[in-house]
Amino acid sequence: MKRLVQQISTRLASSVMVSGCLAGAIALLPTAITFSSIAHAQTANAQPTDDLYYTFYGRQIPLRSRPDIVAVQFRPTSGSRSRGALPQYLQLQDDLQTGMSSGTRGDGRLEEPAEGIEVNVEPLGDRFALVTPTDAGWSTNDIRQRVQDQNYVEETLPVLSLSGVSDDAAEMTVVLPNEIVVGFESELSNSEIQYLLYRHDLEVIRPLQFTENRYLVRSLRESGIGVLHTANRLAQEIGIQSAAPNFVQSVAYQVQDTRLANAGIVPDANERLLNELAALPTLDTPFDSDLLPLAWHLNSTPQRGLLQTRTDVRATEAWERSNGGEDVVVAVIDSLIQWDHPNLAQSIYTVPESTPNLLPGEVHGWDFTNYQVVCTAEEICVSGDPDTRISQEELVILRPAFQETFSLSDSELLEMYESYTYWILAENPNLTDAELARMMRTLIRSEISAEFHGTWSAGVIASQPADAQGVVGVAPNAEILPVRVFGLGGEITPARLVEAVGYAAERNVDVINMSLGSMWPHQDLVDQVFTVLDENPDLVIVASAGNENLDGVGFPAATPGVISVGATSIEGRRTFYSSYGGRLDVVAPGGETTLFNRRGILTTGGTWVDGFWEGMEIPSYSWDVSLDPMGYYVQVQGTSFSAPNVAGVVALMRGVNSGLDRDRITTILQDTASYDGLTLSEGDRNRYRLQRDVGMTLMEDRLSGVFPLPDPVSAEEYFFGRGLVNAEAAVNAAR
């Protein structure tokens, strides 16, 4: 059985963003939100030829159907699965490949199995999967029929991509369930809302919590693509503020293609680490940590030397002038947050029992990825559960592939994961089997490690070394409120994110960090961010600019009022992946691990959980992003980790002056940032000249952050915003 742990096509295409922001470019919002590839397509043809689109503040975002992929929604398991603990996506792959079918006879099995179909079935969270044929002799209609024969399948659903964008963007897929997020104008009465729902044959699934006048609804009349048309009709109704499908999107952590060139292991990892640390100078700081010399984003001197300019956020100096972010709470809206990590356990916020509208079992944040709806005594109903850590069910899904990368021979691995072979060889056609297998191990392990993206983000902000052992965050005394919105494989929906943002604000956090930059623009999310910012003038939201190397940051960082953060390398350059230009505020270290892992951002990992190593011998070597054999610590790259650097700096500022509002904090961050230590590459300088002098915007880019303006910004501001964040200067100004 060929197992795919994660959606490869989505991973490869996760660099495809939809939007950027540029003041004055389009009269949409107080600060306009633009999306160039979409805008280009709409300029040429205002109406998509296949009439598939959804709306964003009146704009039509053109879409296209993906008939080459079948999306599956599974029935709730409720303990009735027919074959033990086998995950449903693996059961479906097995049934399709062996020709079995369930539920067509009294015994639940076919007497004579049908012909098997060679397919890849890839999980998308725990409720959905994507089925892709690998045998050209079978049509997706044939596969769809065979899928629907399985009694554990609820239905098959349309798969959509953006239309009129680059080839990579065309591969970005979303699933269209029969769910629409509808926002009603505040002056509408309940009876008027009921009338609008009745007129369009809609029923309420549930009101969305932590937001006003917003509901998740389903159509009683339409299914499939018809749900998209229903949402578009709703969006034109008087009294409806917004209506768009609750797309199921995958925003998995991007594994850069070039990362595979470093595939391999580091033998004798612990001994080598000790030798390396012994050769590096130590730092005398209030927060002692044996791994601090490797944390170049906090202080780059140990690795760059005294004669080189600093390229870090100067956190170690800021600690001397602050309380480390004490009494400051940072909500981390992200994926799995393994808060029992030894360096996070003392940093996790405990929600007081006196909190209004406390959710059932809520102690350390909330996991919005569980589709089970729970209700309080006050009849506040929300999906999810109170634990953001990995569940036993998720371990069952991830453990087999993880362990097989350590236990299988090269030939066994290549046979088991044949579909990975195709992608790797497409980029590296001359590999030997041994080289191919080595890359495959790296790829699978990195994908599974990246499920703990939220743990990585939280560690950058507020990890604490236990007995001077481990890593330290930018604001070690701050507290983290874990909020999980990503299922396995980066599965996320707008409704889930809307509720998460409102939940964090209602828990009175000081800062919200969103290390996610790959969302399709969704009006309900932007509306929710505006509402939360308006109602909480002291709340600061920080988001990653995106890893797409595009002009203009991605969503939700593109939303006005959110601090958008690009990424720099240890050399002080813009990282090769970091987006720039329109709506970029500041930059911070994000790391580049392409040539050397030590150039990544050091933080807390998640694969140390016992369930991953159950029944196997722990290796003596480190692998992929892991610093140690079990993955307690990782070194990673991305704007996902430059944003937490800034969130940590905001926590330090708020710790020394709780009276600062958002506008003042943003101003201080920008005014104290500088271009000291930053260097533009020749390629970036030439690209800037092209944008400034010619006004050329490449089709795969968003609208430029330079050329439409009467007075173009400098090349430095174009690529670095207001500059590299300086925690020491920001704390001094805050004091």
Q: Are 421 and 414 in contact (CB under 8 A)?
A: yes
- In this prediction, residue 256 carries a pLDDT of 52
- Cα angle 653, 655, 657 (rounded to 5 degrees) comes to 70
Residue 546: CA atoms inside 13 Å, Cβ hemisphere, count? 33
Question: Model confidence at 94, in pLDDT bands (50, 70, 90)?
Answer: confident
Q: Are 313 and 727 in contact (CB under 8 A)?
A: yes
Taking residue 650's Cβ as centre, other Cβ atoms within 10 Å add up to 33
Identify the helix (H) or strand (E) that includes residue 623. strand 622-623
Q: Is residue 630 helix, strand or coil?
A: coil
* Structural domains counted in the chain: 3
Kindly state whether residue 10 falls inside one of the protein's structural domains: no
Does residue 330 have a pLDDT over 90? yes
Out of 33-37, 277-281, 595-599, give the one with best mean pLDDT: 277-281
Maximum C-alpha span of the chain: 78
- In this prediction, residue 20 carries a pLDDT of 30
Q: Which of 173, 192, 225 is the last residue of a domain?
A: 173
Does residue 89 have a pLDDT over 90? no
Does residue 48 have a pLDDT over 90? no
Question: Model confidence at 497, in pLDDT bands (50, 70, 90)?
Answer: very high
pLDDT in tens, 672-716: 999 999 999 999 999 999 888 877 665 455 655 666 666 788 999
Rounded CA-CA distance 641/459 in Å is 10
Rounded CA-CA distance 566/517 in Å is 11
Angle at which helices 433-449 and 418-427 cross, to 10°: 110
Q: Based on the domain organization, do 297 and 197 belong to the same domain?
A: no
Q: What is the DSSP letter of 574?
A: B
Q: Evaluate the omega torsion of the peptide bond into residue 123 and state whether it is cis, within 30 degrees of 0.
A: no
Q: Based on the domain organization, do 393 and 466 belong to the same domain?
A: yes
Q: Based on the domain organization, do 129 and 84 belong to the same domain?
A: yes
Q: Based on the domain organization, do 324 and 455 belong to the same domain?
A: yes
Does residue 80 have a pLDDT over 50? no
Model confidence, pTM = 0.90
Rounded CA-CA distance 555/566 in Å is 13
Does residue 12 have a pLDDT over 50? no
What is 330-364 written as a DSSP string? Answer: EEEEES---TTSTTTTTTBPPPPTT-TTPPTT-SS
Q: Are 5 and 451 in contact (CB under 8 A)?
A: no
Answer with the residue of higher pLDDT: 112 or 644: 644
- Three-state secondary structure readout of 500-525: HHHHHHHCCCCEEEECCCCECCCHHH
Q: Are 388 and 366 in contact (CB under 8 A)?
A: yes
Query: What residues contact residue 264 under an 8 Å CB cut-off, 6+ apart?
Result: 438, 442
Residue type, position 127, single letter: R
Rounded CA-CA distance 642/460 in Å is 9
Instruction: Please tell me the chain's helix, strand, coil percentages from 3-state DSSP, rounded to the nearest 5.
Output: 35, 20, 50
Q: Based on the domain organization, do 345 and 207 belong to the same domain?
A: no
Report, as an integer, the average pLDDT of 138-149.
88
Kindly state whether residue 408 falls inside one of the protein's structural domains: yes
Q: Based on the domain organization, do 448 and 315 belong to the same domain?
A: yes
- In this prediction, residue 704 carries a pLDDT of 57
Question: Model confidence at 154, in pLDDT bands (50, 70, 90)?
Answer: very high
pLDDT in tens, 529-557: 999 999 999 999 999 999 988 888 988 99
Lowest-confidence region among 86-90, 196-200, 412-416: 86-90
φ and ψ of 188, to 5 deg: -70, 140
Of 459, 447, 452, 444, nearest in space to 406 by CA: 444
pLDDT in tens, 362-378: 999 999 998 888 888 77
Kindly state whether residue 48 falls inside one of the protein's structural domains: no
Query: What residues contact residue 127 under an 8 Å CB cut-off, 6+ apart?
Result: 73, 74, 371, 487
- In this prediction, residue 173 carries a pLDDT of 77
Question: Model confidence at 120, in pLDDT bands (50, 70, 90)?
Answer: confident
The residue ranges of DSSP E strands in 24-172, in sequence order, are 33-34, 53-56, 59-65, 70-74, 119-124, 128-133, 153-157, 159-162
Rounded CA-CA distance 125/484 in Å is 13
- Cα angle 249, 156, 419 (rounded to 5 degrees) comes to 65
Kindly state whether residue 655 falls inside one of the protein's structural domains: yes
Rounded CA-CA distance 515/132 in Å is 29
- In this prediction, residue 254 carries a pLDDT of 59
Does residue 432 have a pLDDT over 80? yes
Of 482, 4, 459, nearest in space to 250 by CA: 4
Does residue 727 have a pLDDT over 60? yes
What is 575-593 written as a DSSP string? Answer: PTT--BSTT--EEEE----
Task: Give the range of the structural domain holding residue 187, as residue numbers without chain letter.
Answer: 178-246
- In this prediction, residue 700 carries a pLDDT of 52
Lowest-confidence region among 39-53, 316-330, 494-508, 583-597: 39-53
Kindly state whether residue 57 falls inside one of the protein's structural domains: no
Token pair of 15 as six digits: 């660099």
pLDDT in tens, 382-399: 889 999 999 999 999 899
Give the C-alpha distances (Å, rounded to integers) separating 287 from 283, 292, 317, 451, 469: 10, 9, 11, 29, 11
Distance of CA 638 to the CA centre of its chain: 11
Does residue 27 have a pLDDT over 50? no
Does residue 96 have a pLDDT over 70? yes
Q: Which of 146, 173, 200 is the last residue of a domain?
A: 173
Residue 424: CA atoms inside 13 Å, Cβ hemisphere, count? 25
pLDDT in tens, 558-593: 999 999 999 999 999 999 999 998 899 999 999 998
Q: What is the mean pLDDT of the chain?
A: 86
- In this prediction, residue 177 carries a pLDDT of 96
Q: Are 363 and 386 in contact (CB under 8 A)?
A: yes
Question: Model confidence at 202, in pLDDT bands (50, 70, 90)?
Answer: very high
- In this prediction, residue 164 carries a pLDDT of 60
Q: Which residue has the tokens 């790296």?
A: 442
Does residue 458 have a pLDDT over 70? yes
Identify the helix (H) or strand (E) that includes residue 462. helix 453-462
Token pair of 643 as six digits: 């944003």
Percent of the chain having pLDDT more than 90? 64
CATH number at residue 219: 3.30.70.80
Kindly state whether residue 5 falls inside one of the protein's structural domains: no
- In this prediction, residue 261 carries a pLDDT of 47
Does residue 413 have a pLDDT over 90? yes
Does residue 255 have a pLDDT over 70? no
Q: Based on the domain organization, do 549 and 640 belong to the same domain?
A: yes
Residue 228: CA atoms inside 13 Å, Cβ hemisphere, count? 23
Kindly state whether residue 3 falls inside one of the protein's structural domains: no
Q: Based on the domain organization, do 26 and 122 belong to the same domain?
A: no
Buried b (16+ CB within 10 A) or exposed e, 139-166: ebeebeebbebbebbeebbbbbbbbbbb
Residue 174, strand partner residues: 160, 249
Percent of the chain having pLDDT more than 70? 85
Taking residue 23's Cβ as centre, other Cβ atoms within 10 Å add up to 15
Q: Based on the domain organization, do 558 and 595 belong to the same domain?
A: yes
- In this prediction, residue 82 carries a pLDDT of 38
Lowest-confidence region among 87-101, 527-541, 591-605: 87-101
Q: Based on the domain organization, do 148 and 205 belong to the same domain?
A: no
Question: Model confidence at 99, in pLDDT bands (50, 70, 90)?
Answer: confident
- In this prediction, residue 550 carries a pLDDT of 86
Does residue 31 have a pLDDT over 50? no
Q: Are 424 and 260 in contact (CB under 8 A)?
A: yes
pLDDT in tens, 289-298: 999 999 999 9
CATH number at residue 426: 3.40.50.200
Kindly state whether residue 8 falls inside one of the protein's structural domains: no
- Three-state secondary structure readout of 666-691: HHHHHHHCECCCCCCCHHHHHHHHHH
Residue type, position 317, single letter: E
Token pair of 313 as six digits: 């956020």
Does residue 46 have a pLDDT over 50? no
Q: Based on the domain organization, do 299 and 438 belong to the same domain?
A: yes
- In this prediction, residue 703 carries a pLDDT of 55
Q: Are 727 and 645 in contact (CB under 8 A)?
A: no
Q: Are 226 and 177 in contact (CB under 8 A)?
A: no
Q: Which of 246, 272, 291 is the last residue of a domain?
A: 246
Answer with the residue of higher pLDDT: 565 or 1: 565
Residue type, position 459, single letter: G
Q: Based on the domain organization, do 198 and 316 belong to the same domain?
A: no
